[in-house]
Structure 1
């Protein structure tokens, strides 16, 4: 989606770039746009090839027209703020933080400060700039209400190597999700086309065509089922699961959208969840779900090869109290074999 304020540029593909990918071509033609930034512009439909929105991997031909809309950049000053951090790992090059739910990872609309980046700026002093001026240090991101382990870098070389490892699917990231009902199979791999909803551009969706490939591995770790009788009503039955998800790709909202697609929306998810089931009883469970700040999703494990010393780093983080309280109730009242 083209921003309200953007610089419009038009380029004709020269013969020397014929046969290259669109994102690589944009990087070559627009000096200030990196490869990752080019991909983001293409995903946001700020790049058109002969007037059409296409994928970053599209091969270009000599003479084709590329229209690029470069959003106006507002000056951003990352203010260091002394905010407590739950640090899972730290050395001179890498820092891994267990982010609490409700903390934005970088400043943006509605979150001018108080973010993870503000806290890192105070704690580390220096952060990599390879990911862009408004999200220094962040090798990947977590949604506002998703808790758990997030990988950060203090210098550009390490940042680029870790980002490349993620692109090669060499960084293992596992998430625990509490969902209503559950996936149709106890374990599997979901591969879909994936992109923004045409009618609501801030939300994502599984697409029939177009978009980008999204791959999620999942495994039902725990199943829960229980019955109860509300006063004056018939007996009711409900089911839920704890699902462990592994990301083969890192699309925005991927676990949340893929679980919804499988008929297992995340408990407490304000965008992709089921409000009726979030408040469907019993009252004790409803009260615990209401305490969740958002979706019950936690980045529980990350494993990566350290780009400097070559060591394999594997870290785990326990979920936050609100997540744990819902899971404890489910375990106590309805734990069944997975």
Structure 2
């Protein structure tokens, strides 16, 4: 069991309990938190309450995260591209097209299946389907991920994500020519009411989200950019770039109907930096663009 607790402050009073608890840790989804509340793992002033409980100033909220069930995820031998590994953390370069963790419909062939075969010591904080996974990137996004090999490392890395001290820089190709060279998008992201599988910029049930971008190169109809995440919301870069009118090339969910036929969004998590949980040394890793990304850039340069 992992215990954590907070006292409700002025800006949180009258907020729903599930929303307040989900905001503590960006790896906790509202659905997960609601399940914990229903099962009595979240107590307010020592008592179990309903998920829609409205918080009062000074409420003592205790969250007792249940131990994960026994792992029932198949270990599969894979040729993983490991950039760094020690007894606490591992950094892996995920290829495009690979799902990070098992879910209904994707129980094999995921990064977690490969990690299970590579090393047996992964943190158990996130439960059965997601051992060791501290943050994730979308199936068709390539690039670097940090993985925790024990609960101490997991808690440290998640705290760094919450504190916004992890360096995460992505390369992307977007539709349109961005007129300015850099900018910051500060717009809250939540589930799209019209499409539960998509995220959108909304004020309802949303989470704070900030993306910084720098233009690297401009083409006739596209722009090559680097985006730096300050927060890590689901589909954040894809949603934010669409929001400002420059959706990602190749993106089947958030891009225009006529886009580059490259089998998914042109997005690569190229730089990842964090403080090592044990040694406290800052580590930073860089991975090169995947070949298809380089090919698209080459074609765009030729067409100009």
Instruction: Give TM class, smaller chain.
Output: 0.7 to 0.9
Q: Which runs of 4+ in 1 moved over 4 A?
A: 16-27, 35-39, 42-48, 50-54, 73-76
What are the equivalent positions in structure 2 for 1:274-313 lying under 5 Å apart? 274-276=256-258, 278=259, 289-290=260-261, 292-313=262-283
Cα pair 1:193 1:210 within 8 Å, conserved? no
Question: 1:183 offset after TM fit, Å?
Answer: 3.6
Q: Which structure has the larger Rg?
A: 1
SS of 2:250's equivalent in the other structure is: coil
**Against the structure 1 CA distance between its residues 102 and 53, is the aligned structure 2 distance closer, same or farther, given a 3 Å change threshold?**
farther
Aligned to 2:115: 120
SS of 2:299's equivalent in the other structure is: helix
What are the equivalent positions in structure 2 for 1:31-70 lying under 5 Å apart? 36=25, 39-41=28-30, 59-60=55-56
Question: 1:53 offset after TM fit, Å?
Answer: 6.2
CA–CA distance in structure 1, aligned partners of residues 231 and 278 of structure 2: 24
**Against the structure 1 CA distance between its residues 320 and 161, is the aligned structure 2 distance closer, same or farther, given a 3 Å change threshold?**
same
Could you tell which deviates more after superposition, 127-136 or 202-211? 202-211
Cα pair 2:169 2:272 within 8 Å, conserved? yes
Deviations 1:111-165 (A, max 9, x none): 1111000000100111011222210011100111110001101101011001101
CA–CA distance in structure 2, aligned partners of residues 61 and 38 of structure 1: 25
TM-score, normalisation: structure 1:
0.73
Deviations 1:34-53 (A, max 9, x none): x64994126887779x9996
CA–CA distance in structure 1, aligned partners of residues 93 and 266 of structure 2: 15
Question: 1:255 offset after TM fit, Å?
Answer: 0.1
Match of 2:254 among 272, 278, 300: 272
Match of 2:238 among 242, 256, 261: 256
Aligned to 1:323: 293
Would you say how many aligned residue pairs link Structure 1 and Structure 2? Answer: 279
Match of 2:169 among 169, 174, 179: 174
SS of 1:212's equivalent in the other structure is: coil
TM-score, normalisation: structure 2:
0.81
SS of 1:298's equivalent in the other structure is: strand
CA–CA distance in structure 1, aligned partners of residues 122 and 135 of structure 2: 14
SS of 1:332's equivalent in the other structure is: helix
Instruction: Give ranges in structure 1 of 5+ residues lacking alignment.
Output: 1-15, 67-72, 226-238, 279-288
**Against the structure 1 CA distance between its residues 43 and 125, is the aligned structure 2 distance closer, same or farther, given a 3 Å change threshold?**
closer
Instruction: Give ranges in structure 2 of 5+ residues lacking alignment.
Output: 1-5, 39-48, 62-67
Aligned to 1:129: 124
CA–CA distance in structure 2, aligned partners of residues 144 and 160 of structure 1: 24
